[in-house]
Amino acid sequence: MKPSKAKTVFDVQAIRRDFPILGRQVHGKPLVYLDNAATTQKPRAVIDALVHYYEHQNANIHRAIHTLGEEATAAYEETRAKVSQFINASRPESIVFTRSATEALNLIAYAWGRANVKKGDEIVLTQMEHHSNMVPWQRLAQEVGATIKYIGVSDEGTLDLDGLDDIITEKTKLVSVTQVSNAFGTINVLDKIIAAAHRRGALAVVDGAQSVPHMPVDVQAIDCDFLAFSAHKMLGPTGVGVLYARYELLEEMEPFQSGGEMISRVRLEGASWNDVPWKFEAGTPNIADVIAFGAALDYLSALGMDNVRAHEQELTAYALRRLRQLEDIIIYGPQDTSRRGGVASFNYPDIHAHDVGTILDREGVAIRAGHHCAQPLMRRFDMAGTARASFYIYNTLEEVDALIEGVEKARAFFSHASG
C-alpha cells in the first residue's frame, strides 16, 4: 500500500538531513527510528552547541568574573528564558533545571510534599501514570500516613472522570496527572481535573514528559501549579529535566539538595538560601547540556509546535489505519487521533511484544516493547506489555510502511513456527 502524499507544512526530508544518526544502517537496513517516546534523536544544531561550549566556553557558571564564566552563565540563563517562553511561564525564575523529569517530580514530592501533606490527607493520581509520577507519591504517602486515590481508566484507554468530585475531596492536597500517556498516547483533558483540584484547595501537578515535546503547552492556560518534563525527549541532550512551578510556591519550598550555589550565606551556625530558582540547583549543574537544550528549543520553535502536532497526528492516523488492516492485532488507546499523541501501542494475542520488537529490529525498525514503566496500566488491561511505535518530526509515512511490513513478518514467522 502506497502512502498518500504528506500534508505536513514543513519539509521532512530537509529535517532528516539535520540528524546525522538517521543516515546509519542497522542489520544492513536503513534505520527506522520509532522509539521517540523513550528518547529522541539529536539534530546537528544541538550536537554543535554541545561541542561549541566545550571548545569555546567551558567554565563554571554564576561564580566566575572572567570572560568564559560570564559567557557560560549567559548561555545557561538564556536557555532558562527560552524554556519559560516555550511553555508561557510568567517569568524565567519559575523554571528549575533538574537531571530529568523524574527528578523534577521527586523534587516536588520532597520539597513541597513533605512540608504540606500530613497524616489523613489524600493524593490523587491516575491508573495510567508513568512510575515516575506514581512511586514518589506512594513513598510520600507511606512516610506521612496519607492515602492515595486513583482515577480509573476506561476500556478505550481514556480517564474515567465520572465521579471525579467523589475522588477529589476536601482531604485532597495534591492531584498529579500525565497530560499524555507514554504507554497508549492518550491525551488527557486536564481542565476538568485541574479545576476540580483547585475547587478543593488542592494543587495540580502535570507530567508533561510526553506533551511538551509534541504539542503547544501553555502553563498559564492549563492553570497547573507544577509541570515536569525532560530535554532528551524533545531533541535535547540527556541529563536535563525541567520543573516549572508557580513562583510563590518555589519561594515557600525548602531546598531539595544542599551544598554550593544554592546558598546565600553560610556561617558555622547555619546557612541561608539563594534566591529562586537557584536555591534548587545545588552544585555545578549540567551546564553544557542545558546550553545545548537551548538549541533544541530554537529548532522546535522554528518549526512551530502546532506544525509538530499536525505532522505527528498525520503519521499516527496513517499508522492506526494500516495496523487495523492486520488480522488479529489489538490496538490500545483512543482511535480518534485528536485524542492521542504520536503513539501506536499494539499486540498480537499469541506473540510476546518482545518477540515483535526483536523481529522489527532485524528489519532496522526500532520500537519499544514492554510495560513502558506503567505496570498498573498494563495490569488494568491484563497484559505484560505492548509493542509501541512512537513518532516525531523526522518520521515519514514510508517509515510507517516499514513498520507494518516488519509486523507482518513477525506474524508470519511465529505463525510458521507454531504451525
**Domain match, 173 and 322 both:** no
Contact 210, 372 (CB under 8 A): no
Give the separation between CA 175 and CA 205, rounded to whole angstroms. Answer: 6
Number of domains in the chain: 2
Residue 105 CA to chain centroid, in angstroms? 12
Q: For residue 380, is pLDDT > 80?
A: yes
Residue type, 46: V
**In 10 A of CB 191, how many CB atoms?**
11
* Residue-wise pLDDT tens digits, 288-310: 999 999 999 999 999 999 999 99
In the predicted structure, residue 116 carries a pLDDT above the cut 60? yes
Q: Does residue 3 register a pLDDT over 60? A: no
Band of residue 7 on the pLDDT scale cut at 50, 70, 90: low
What are the tens digits of pLDDT across the range 66-105?
999 999 999 999 999 999 999 999 999 999 999 999 999 9
Last residue of a domain, one of 302, 328, 347: 302
**What are 166-215's pLDDT values in tens digits?**
999 999 999 999 999 999 999 999 999 999 999 999 999 999 999 999 99
Contact by Cβ (8 Å): 406, 326: no
| Span 44-70, average pLDDT | 95
Whether 72 and 202 share a structural domain: yes
402 with 363, same domain? yes
Taking the C-alpha atoms of residue 106 and residue 88, their distance in angstroms, rounded to an integer, is: 23
How much is the pLDDT for 4?
A: 47
Q: Is residue 258 part of a domain?
A: yes
- The CATH code of the domain that includes 385 is 3.90.1150.10
Q: Residue 233: inside a domain, yes or no?
A: yes
Quick one: pLDDT at residue 276? Answer: 72
Report the CATH number at residue 295: 3.40.640.10
| Domain shared by 143 and 263, yes or no | yes
pLDDT of residue 6: 47
> What pTM was estimated for this model as a whole?
0.95
Which of 254, 277, 302 is the last residue before a domain boundary?
Answer: 302
Residues 116 and 152 in one domain: yes
Same domain, yes or no, for 396 and 284? no
Supply φ then ψ for residue 136, to 5 degrees. Answer: -60, -35
Question: Cα-flanking dihedrals φ and ψ of residue 238, to 5°?
Answer: -75, 165
Is the CA virtual torsion 408, 411, 414, 418 positive or negative?
negative
Instruction: Give 343's strand partners.
Output: 390
d(CA 309, CA 81): 23
pLDDT of residue 269: 79
Domain boundary (249, 283, 302) is at 302
Q: Is residue 272 predicted with pLDDT exceeding 80?
A: no
Same domain, 174 and 99: yes
Residue 170 and residue 24 share a domain: no
Question: Quick one: 205 and 350 in the same domain?
Answer: no
Question: What average pLDDT does the segment 273-279 reach?
Answer: 78
Full DSSP string of 270-287: EEEEPPTTGGG--SS--H
Query: Among residues 148, 161, 271, 373, which one is catalytic?
Result: 373
Does the residue 5 lie in any domain? no
Residues 246 and 334 occupy one common structural domain = no
Alpha-carbon distance of 236 to 232, in angstroms, equals 5
Q: Is residue 4 part of a domain?
A: no
Same domain for 172 and 84, yes or no, is yes
Same domain for 262 and 402?
no
Q: How many percent of the chain have pLDDT more than 70?
A: 96
Give the pLDDT band of residue 417 (cuts 50, 70, 90): low
pLDDT of residue 220: 98
**In contact, 182 and 209? CB cutoff 8 Å:** yes
Q: Is residue 364 part of a domain?
A: yes
Residue 266 lies in a domain: yes
Q: Are 81 and 92 in contact (CB under 8 A)?
A: yes
pLDDT band at 416; cut points 50, 70, 90: low
Query: Does 3 fall in a domain?
Result: no
Range(s) of the domain holding residue 63: 47-302
Rounded average pLDDT over 381-387:
96
Decide if 141 is inside a domain. Answer: yes
Tell me: pLDDT of 418 over 60: no
> Which of 223, 276, 326 shows the shortest CA–CA distance to 80?
276
Q: Rounded to whole angstroms, what are the CA distances from 290 to 81, 310, 331, 348? A: 12, 27, 37, 41
User: Grid coordinates 512551530 are at which residue?
Assistant: 304
Known catalytic residue: 224?
no
Distance from C-alpha of 12 to C-alpha of 334, rounded to nearest angstrom: 26
Return the bridge partners of 52, or none: none
pLDDT of 257 above 70: yes
Mean pLDDT estimate for the chain: 94
